[in-house]
Structure 1
Amino acid sequence: MAHHNPWPDEGNTGHIWDEDLRELDNPAPLWWMLSFYAGFVMIVFYAIYYPTIPLADSYTKGVAGWTQVGEYHEDFKVLKDWRQAKFADKEEKLAALSVDEILKDDDLKAYAVATSKVLFGDYCAGCHGAGGQGNPNFPVLADDDWLWGGKPAQIQAALVNGRVGNMPAKGMMGNLNDQEIEQVADYVIALSEGKADDAAYAAGKAVYAKGMCLACHGPVGKPLAPAGAANLTDGIWRFSGDRDDVVAVIKYGVNVKKAGELIPGTKQAYMPSFKERLPNADVNIKRLTVYVHALGGGQ
């Protein structure tokens, strides 16, 4: 910066760099000043027209009565009305047709699947995972293993009525002692691994028959009909394939109650009915039935 000012009458501030680069002290242009003052006017206008100033337990509402939430609802109504007009024919078909009829119509099936993703995320993904992949202690919907059957009517019935799992507590009821529970647990794990015929599991196989496990799970670990019992031969576990967990399920059962209360250690397997939970339940249950059936495991 220079120590002298070669242009004393120019109106500069005296700050000079590189011999001739200097800072002038000219007034701002009129248009700029008018814009600057207009900004203050707009602040006052905005504070009066829109909600602006926070108060102790509220805020100034503004004469316009505008809110972001109100604008959201207005925009959402426009979108909802547009959707209803655009897809009214498909929605009418979903309401009128059965699930089997919807599945036979490729275009309508694709529409049902596309419009079920958010619905599934809101009401089903918390237990069954975003893509039906399941969560700990909740069934996978994207495979071909079904406790109650994977046909459209069976899936729809589960959504309408809910499901309550049931398995007796073999250890608590005196059916089996601790040694027998250990033996049958080893046999059940061997079933899932395809090793059940090994001589090492003969004792467990005998306990399997004695404990009447075959009444629900079938003579060879495959239920004769889908009625809530697990297939023990496919390596897919309702809760866990960990040996301690298998022992606990056999010993304490599933949803076992005493005096109206769940006994300690019993597993809980409960799916609520959605006929009262879903909006527009008649149509949306059919929509979700098609979606679950299409995840990959529908029969």
Structure 2
Amino acid sequence: MADNNPFPGENNTGHIWDENLRELKNPPPRWWMIGLWASILWVAGYTILYPSWPVGQEPTQGILGWSQIKEYQSGLEKVAAKRAEFEDQIKGMTVNEIIADPGLTQYTLASAKVLFGDNCSACHGSGGQGNPGYPVLADDDWLYGGTTGKIAETIKGGRQGAMTAHQSILEPDELDTLANWVVQMSETLGKGGSEEGWALFRTKGCTACHGQAANGILAEMPNGDVVTVGAANLTDGIWRFEPGGFESAKHTIMYGVNQPGVAETRNAVMPAFGSTDTGKLSEEDIKKLVVYVHELGGGK
């Protein structure tokens, strides 16, 4: 092929295709060669200074001793140093004292947001708005009371309410009367409710949990705490189990809450986050979450 080169004197290899396509032997542009050698030098320098080549289970360390883990740890130390001023104050303060300090409250809310997202949002929603079957934390309706003491008690020890299944206790017409009464109470914010419903509410033992006024409160303490077993307030428009209404109320009355052996019972269990068995959250973490939850719902 080279003997029949139709381009004599041209700096080509003699490989010709389709009559005029050929392979030339021109050198690369100077700028390209400069870039090539510069990149080679850069790689050589990088491998000397930084971790690079795998040797067994670890890479070469580099003469600078830099690593991503060290940089990460350095960042954590800087963040911890900035937080230390606030964290040291929080350790020696009660929840109410923290809430009384606007600056510390803002810091605690920002700090606890991650704690809430990691431990609470799966059930209660990222903003405390609640998920189906779980209580809303962004309102002022509290099953066990909304003081900081009660919120701390709830987070530490968890909650597992109970309501008796009345399917075998009440007659069908009594079930309907009570379910309708619950709806009437919700619609009138406790100002209505049929006489028949009130009579059943009192004679069938409902007051033992829901209170004489049907608001879920058995007694109020001087410090603002309430005595309650977690029974729902029947005098507001908030439904513990959605979607609410007659059928929902009847279902709860019939099958109860957390009743062993009752297949259709409502399930309502909150785990204990301060348990010594689980050790899930520290005292300081719980303190921050109490502030966060209290401020979400305008706790009492």
- Superposition TM-score, scaled by structure 2 size: 0.76
The Cα of 1:291 is off from its aligned counterpart by 0.6
Aligned length: 265
The Cα of 1:128 is off from its aligned counterpart by 0.5
The Cα of 1:75 is off from its aligned counterpart by 3.3
1:237 aligned residue: 239
- Determine whether 1:135 maps to 2:131: yes
CA distance in 1 between partners of 2:281 and 2:162 (Å): 30
- Superposition TM-score, scaled by structure 1 size: 0.76
CA distance in 2 between partners of 1:195 and 1:112 (Å): 35
CA distance in 2 between partners of 1:100 and 1:33 (Å): 71
> CA 1:35/1:62 → structure 2, altered by over 3 Å: closer, same or farther?
farther
Residue ranges of structure 1 left out of the alignment (5+ in a row): 1-7, 13-23, 53-59
Residue type at the aligned position of 2:283 = D
- Determine whether 1:157 maps to 2:153: yes
Contact 1:170 1:211 in 2 (8 A): no
> CA 1:180/1:102 → structure 2, altered by over 3 Å: closer, same or farther?
same
| Aligned CA-pair RMSD | 3.3
The Cα of 1:104 is off from its aligned counterpart by 1.4
Stretch moving more, 96-105 or 126-135: 96-105
Cα displacement string for residues 250-296 of structure 1 (whole angstroms, at most 9, x for unaligned residues):
11111112xxxx42111111111111456661101000000111113
1:291 aligned residue: 292
Contact 2:209 2:231 in 1 (8 A): yes
Contact 2:157 2:272 in 1 (8 A): yes
Residue type at the aligned position of 1:204 = G
The Cα of 1:29 is off from its aligned counterpart by 2.1
2:173 aligned residue: 179
Residue type at the aligned position of 1:181 = L
Residue type at the aligned position of 1:143 = D
Residue type at the aligned position of 1:292 = V
What aligned pairs does 1:1-299 form with structure 2 within 5 A after superposition?
Answer: 27-33=27-33, 35-36=35-36, 42=43, 49-50=52-53, 63-64=59-60, 73-171=69-167, 174-194=168-188, 201-224=194-217, 225=219, 226=226, 227=228, 228-240=230-242, 241-257=244-260, 262-276=261-275, 281-299=282-300
Cα displacement string for residues 153-174 of structure 1 (whole angstroms, at most 9, x for unaligned residues):
1101111111111111111xx3
CA distance in 1 between partners of 2:190 and 2:59 (Å): 78
The Cα of 1:182 is off from its aligned counterpart by 1.5
The Cα of 1:109 is off from its aligned counterpart by 1.3
1:115 aligned counterpart, secondary structure:
helix
2:59 aligned counterpart, secondary structure:
coil
The Cα of 1:50 is off from its aligned counterpart by 4.0
Residue ranges of structure 2 left out of the alignment (5+ in a row): 1-7, 13-23, 220-225
Contact 1:187 1:196 in 2 (8 A): no
Contact 2:152 2:286 in 1 (8 A): yes
The Cα of 1:38 is off from its aligned counterpart by 6.6
Contact 2:185 2:192 in 1 (8 A): no
Stretch moving more, 112-121 or 77-86: 77-86
The Cα of 1:80 is off from its aligned counterpart by 1.8
